[in-house]
Amino acid sequence: MNLMDFLAAAPEMTLLGLICVVMIADLFIEDERRVHTFWLSMISLAITAAVLQATSPDTRVVIFDGSYVSDSLSQVLKLGAVLFVALAFLYARDYLRANDLNKGEFYLLGLFGLLGMMIMMSANSLLTMYLGLETLSLSLYALVAFDRNNVTSAESAMKFFVLGAIASGALLYGISWIYGVTGSIQFHEIYAAISADPSLNNLPLWFGLAFLIVGIAFKFGGVPFHMWLPDVYQGARTPVTLYLASAPKLAALALTLRILVDGLGGLHETWGTMIMVVAVLSLLVGNLVAIAQTNIKRMLGYSTIGHVGFILLAIFCGTAEGNAAALFYTLTYVVAAAGAFGVIVLMSRSGYDVELLTDFNGLNARSPWFALMMMFLMFSMAGVPPFIGFFAKLNVISAVLAAGFPGLAVLMVLVTVIGAFYYLKVIWFMYFEEAEDKAVLQASTDTRLVLSLNSVAVLALGIVPGWLLALCIDVLS
């Protein structure tokens, strides 16, 4: 192997090197000048994105003896992850300063999480996938517990940690069965082994597969493995929830697509059924329980579960069209989620976190611009045309119809209608209720600008969705 071959993994190596630089530099930065760490992290993200662009592969490149793959899917997902981590950092900056949480470790753990996501997105073997997942999960556990004087944070971190460890164990157990049956941990070899010997497609492999599905459903937050999600979304400080709700969803998509499609594509009939059950339950539970919530973070947590149902149903189709719809849905959902949590972060002030739906009362009177932005985001999540969420849902529904499941398509339309209720409720609170607190939202110019761009993006993308959809189809063909 030539040393130049390793160049395909340059983005990960660059990011790791930059993390070390930020880590050392942060030691010498005093608390009141912590914003330097923020800018250093942002520069690191920019350099990583530049290296990603520079090493963009023309074809599928597999290095490190088959443990690392670089293709157009990993490229798109990684660029998305870098972008959303940067958004999370920017929205978090002022909040952390105002709430006495201004520690450099927030950015450091965030960067480590990004590294884990990138490893997952480029994983070509079950071992690499697992290690990437652990890197991501460990930083998420620590981030959720970041505010260690806060009892709710500690409780949710503990839940997240214990349940996450059990899910990792299930995943690892499934991996060992897959390895035992097929004799390999590399996705293309597993695929080849199953297509070469159809007798492998039998009970032992399905047993391992079931455990993999448990792990995937947990990491995605699919019912019935969703228990951690609302508690963690509510318990973590809002910038952490923002981080948790955005980029890691892309990594979860990579986990699902790489394992189920790249590795176990030959078992589509078997895992399709399992994924469908998880997806249908997620759609129902997520959307129905969200109606009863009074806490906005918890409500968005349940709504995430509902959205995960859509993504999983798109993957369930097992067609290239379905996979493209899943990628499109995830990317656009994450844009809206980042924006929505961004508004919540922005509304929180020193010592007071926006938690309740009623905190949105009369936002229009206080800051009409941000009320409008939040309305865009809620419309997009609800799936109202011409916002991007509408096209994402439409794609999934048409993919499911094309795969020949009209019943599921009807179900998706029904839950979308149910889901619209609680998204519109937020808009009702913002526009038709009286505010108790008349203070205008304060934000620094760059946050204000980026948040506005983020929110307008859901409208702009909705008006011209063609290029993104074409990109998704191109990536997964």
Interface contacts to other proteins, rule CB under 8 A = 9, 16, 23, 64-65, 67-68, 103, 105, 108-109, 112, 115, 119, 127-128, 131-132, 134-135, 138-139, 141-142, 145-146, 148
Angle at 421 between CA 417 and CA 425, to 5 degrees: 155
Q: How far is the CB of 206 from other proteins (least distance, A)?
A: 21
406: CB partners within 8 A, 6+ apart: none
Nearer to other proteins, 105 or 353 (CB): 105
Neighbours of 470 (CB within 10 A): 11
Q: How far is the CB of 237 from other proteins (least distance, A)?
A: 14
Instruction: Determine the length of the chain.
Output: 477
Half-sphere exposure of 177 (CA within 13 A, CB side): 20
Nearer to other proteins, 219 or 226 (CB): 219
190 by Cβ neighbours in 10 Å (0-12 / 13-18 / 19+) ranks as: buried
Angle at 464 between CA 458 and CA 468, to 5 degrees: 80
Q: How far is the CB of 335 from other proteins (least distance, A)?
A: 28
Cα 358 from Cα 436, distance rounded (Å) = 10
Q: How far is the CB of 266 from other proteins (least distance, A)?
A: 25
Cα 208 from Cα 432, distance rounded (Å) = 53
Tokens of 163: 């349940």
Three-class SS state of 58? coil
Three-class SS state of 95? helix
Cα 56 from Cα 29, distance rounded (Å) = 35
φ, ψ of residue 236 in degrees (nearest 5): -70, 155
Q: How far is the CB of 105 from other proteins (least distance, A)?
A: 4
Nearer to other proteins, 204 or 385 (CB): 204
Cα 262 from Cα 281, distance rounded (Å) = 25
Q: For 87-178, where are the E strands, in sequence order?
A: none
Nearer to other proteins, 123 or 229 (CB): 123
371: CB partners within 8 A, 6+ apart: 363, 364, 430, 431
Nearer to other proteins, 215 or 266 (CB): 215
DSSP label of 63: E
Nearer to other proteins, 64 or 431 (CB): 64
Three-class SS state of 356? strand
Which residue in 360, 379, 372, 338 sits closest to 426, CA to CA?
360
Tokens of 117: 């996501």
173: CB partners within 8 A, 6+ apart: 208, 211
Helix axes 203-220, 247-256, angle to 10 degrees: 170
Cα 131 from Cα 192, distance rounded (Å) = 23
Q: How far is the CB of 99 from other proteins (least distance, A)?
A: 16
Nearer to other proteins, 147 or 359 (CB): 147
Q: How far is the CB of 108 from other proteins (least distance, A)?
A: 6
Nearer to other proteins, 137 or 238 (CB): 137
Task: Give buried/exposed letters for 163-187 (b at 16+ CB in 10 A, else e).
Answer: bbeebbebbbbbbebbbebbebbbb
Q: How far is the CB of 88 from other proteins (least distance, A)?
A: 17
Q: How far is the CB of 127 from other proteins (least distance, A)?
A: 5
Nearer to other proteins, 40 or 388 (CB): 40
Nearer to other proteins, 68 or 310 (CB): 68
- Examine residue 198 and say whether the peptide bond preceding it is cis (omega within 30 degrees of 0): no
Sign of CA dihedral 279, 282, 287, 288: positive
Q: How far is the CB of 358 from other proteins (least distance, A)?
A: 33
Nearer to other proteins, 119 or 443 (CB): 119
Q: How far is the CB of 380 from other proteins (least distance, A)?
A: 34
Nearer to other proteins, 8 or 276 (CB): 8
Q: How far is the CB of 179 from other proteins (least distance, A)?
A: 14
